[in-house]
Structure 1
Amino acid sequence: MKKLLLTAALALGLAHGAQAQEFPEGPVTIVVPYSPSGNTDVFMRHLAPSLEEKWGQPVVVDNRPGGGSMVGTAYVSQAKPDGQTLLLTSSAFVTAPALQASLPFDPRADLMPIANPGFVSFLLVVNGESGYETLEEFIADSKESPKFGATAGLGTTTHFAMEQFLAESGANVDVVHFKGGGPAVVSILSREADIYGSSVSSAGEHIKTGAVKPLAIIGDDRIPLLPDVPSTKELGFDGLNIKQWIGLFAPAGTDPAIIEKVNADVNAAIQNADFIETVTPLDWTLNTSSVEGFTDKVNTELDIWKQLAIDRGLAQ
């Protein structure tokens, strides 16, 4: 009997190994649940050639925006679990469930984390002619005259960046949701909103021209692209540390051997010299990750942002 069980286990292991070796058997579709030209889309399109070289198959980037990234995410959750359809999304994967009681998928059960290849920092920015020189000035003025804070949409990481800032600083700011990072930056340029937690890539050109002024980097550290801008930790806000990460996911039920292969291939692809040279000027910090480590990160942040939503009275 033991010999029979051992033989069966060996056969199963060989079958899993064979599936991983055969992957991919055709074009791999990577769904980006955002419109073209956004942070996540640009990252994936630069990464695709390196993966095509490794896999010997085309990598098709399929933009499926809508519902704050939930439409494309739900699509992948229902795809065949063979590794041929994957999801590259942002940290909205862990923030949106904190606000939306009913989603068309279960983020813990219906999708499998694979890799977390990078993240970008957020900046608190204001209009270049606002007159504010420091974040402390803005906070103090907001308590005298209430302000408006922009986000890239309800449940997005920029939304939670703003809520976390307000919880830590006590600034008197009403949150206004826009349909993406581009419109949110425009709201700062037009003074429709007073402050926004933007990425460098969204506001970078406007920062160069002086139309937008960065007051602080959200997090513990300054960033190389803006060395003169202080971090929020330097300013006394130790609890502010949110970044926009991107992550690759597969439908639940995908062979773990395929998951591990894709993880290894992505970790190798982000070390391509041409890729590094292209994305690091956009403030992407590249990050090698394990399947287990990224899975723990996802589960931990699902809990963290749910609690923040409850504390801020945002949860449904």
Structure 2
Amino acid sequence: MRLRNLRNVIALTMLLGGTVVATAPACRGDDAWPVHTVKIIVPFAAGSANDVSARFYADGLAKRWGKPVVVENRPGADAVVGGGAFANARDDHTLLYGTASMLTVNPLLQDSLPYDPSRDMVPIASTASSILVIAVQDRLPVRSLQELMQLARSKPGELSWSSGPSLPHFVYAAMLVRHALEQVYVPYRDATAQQADFGEGRVQILSHALLAVRAPVAAGKARILAVTSPARQPSLPDVPTVAEAGFAEMEIEGLAGLFGWRDMPPALRDRISADVQAVAADPIVRSRIEASGAQVLGSTPVEFSAAIERQRARIEQINRLVNLKSAAK
């Protein structure tokens, strides 16, 4: 009888132990992760600048992890669709390649989001920053932002401008309000038509990503007056920053990075961050991402979170000048 009871105790102990193992999180933050394919959700269209960067990082991470890393595009509604898909996945092998604006801008544009910006997206590492520029059509007789503002002040309502969505639009619109300048905004649904009109002078000013103005600049039909990034860009060494040009309030980064799921173990977050930084340091990866019109970053979770907070503060300043909901229409 005593032997039978001992066997029962052992069996019960093994059963409870198995239950604990079965219900423990699959992800402990140690070298066991990843145990299978990792998916990276990109809330932008295939072929976009962020998609291109995400795929380079996915390839580099796959090599380091020894497991496939696949990219899934979920574009729509200023990245809200992809953000919601990531938050609802609740999967410890799904990451998000998103932008800081998903946390800083979208909450001001929409009353309800399918994700909680403060909990559902854990910053892991910054990856790249789209280079944002202020460019003018070549026939406009200005060589600096100061000269552009002087010309705009002398010709109220005569100059026309257009922009990329979100950050490039809000930054320029706020500048016009801050300096009491009147310019005509020309909206576009088709980026190709926008670039063609800018190159031909039908739109005189463009606040956009570098990639959008490269062709007309290369053709001698436009020139870049300033970049909105905190420092000059290696690919544009002669172009001043907006701060150097006297418009520090226009400084902002098109910040992108990798995010983890809610309640991601800090140890795993830090390990993935280190791997992202290693990929970012690869000269081949750097050259390819820079060719797409972006600056390669790579940071710790703390640094990435701090950069997001800096952008949030700037966006809140802009929102006090220009109601983002109205400006986005």
Category of TM-score, reference length = shorter chain? 0.7 to 0.9
- State which drifts further: 161-170 or 114-123: 161-170
Give 3-state SS (helix, strand or coil) of 1:20's partner.
Answer: coil
Shift of 1:124: 0.4
Contact 2:125 2:300 in 1 (8 A): yes
C-alpha distance 120-266 of structure 1, shift in aligned 2 (>3 A): same
Mapped to 2, the partners of 1:131 and 1:227 lie a distance apart of 22
Contact in 2 for aligned 1:24/1:57 (Cα 8 Å): yes
**Would the aligned equivalents of 1:122 and 1:217 in 2 still touch at CA under 8 Å?**
yes
Contact 2:29–2:266 (8 Å) recurs in 1: no
Shift of 1:158: 1.7
Per the alignment, residue 228 of structure 2 pairs with 218
What letter matches 1:151 in structure 2?
S
Please state if 1:145 is matched with 2:156. Answer: yes
1:41-120, aligned counterparts within 5 Å? Answer: 41-82=51-92, 84-93=93-102, 94-120=104-130
Aligned equivalent of 2:169? 159
Unpaired runs of at least 5, structure 2: 1-19
TM-score by length of structure 1 reads 0.83
1:88 maps to a residue whose letter is Y
| Separation in 2, partners of 1:106, 1:15 | 22
Return closer, same or farther for 1:180/1:138 CA change in 2, 3 Å cut-off: same
In the alignment, the residues of structure 2 paired with residue 182 and residue 91 of structure 1 have an alpha-carbon distance, to the nearest angstrom, of 26
Question: 1:32 corresponds to which residue?
Answer: 42
* TM-fit CA distance, 1:242: 0.8
Q: Is there any run of 5+ residues in structure 1 with no aligned partner, and where?
A: 1-10
- The one-letter code sitting in structure 2 at the alignment partner of 1:264 is A
Q: Distance in 1 between matches of 2:255 and 2:187?
A: 20
| Pairwise CA distance, 1:19 | 4.6
Question: What percent identity do the matched residue pairs reach?
Answer: 25
Deviation at 1:314, TM superposition (A): 3.0
Q: Secondary structure at the match of 2:234?
A: coil
Q: For each residue in 1:161-215, what CA deviation from the matched residue of structure 2 results, as whole angstroms up to 9, or x when unmatched?
A: 3234334544323445544865643442354533222222232232111133212
Q: Deviations over 1:107-137 (max 9, x none)?
A: 1122211111222332101223344433333
Q: How far 1:75 moved relative to its partner?
A: 0.9
Question: What is the rounded CA distance, in whole Å, between the counterparts of 2:107 and 2:142 in structure 1?
Answer: 35
Match of 1:273 in 2: 283
Of residues 157-166 and 244-253 in structure 1, the stretch that sits farther from structure 2 once superposed is 157-166
Q: Counterpart in 1 of 2:8? A: none
Which string of whole-angstrom CA distances, capped at 9 and with x for unpartnered residues, describes residues 53-74 of structure 1?
Answer: 0111111111111101111111
Q: Residue 49 of structure 1: CA displacement? A: 1.7
- Going from structure 1 to structure 2, the CA distance change for 1:309 and 1:86 (only over 3 Å counts) comes to same
What is the CA-CA distance between 1:95 and the residue it aligns to?
A: 2.1
Q: Name the CA distance, whole Å, in 1 between partners of 2:250 and 2:105.
A: 15
Q: Letter of the 2:96 partner, please give it.
A: L
* Per-residue CA distance 1:263-300 (angstroms, 9 max, x = gap): 11111111112112322344533223221232233244
Kept in 2, the 8 Å contact 1:32–1:88? The answer is yes
Distance 1:110-1:169 versus aligned 2 partners, 3 A rule: same
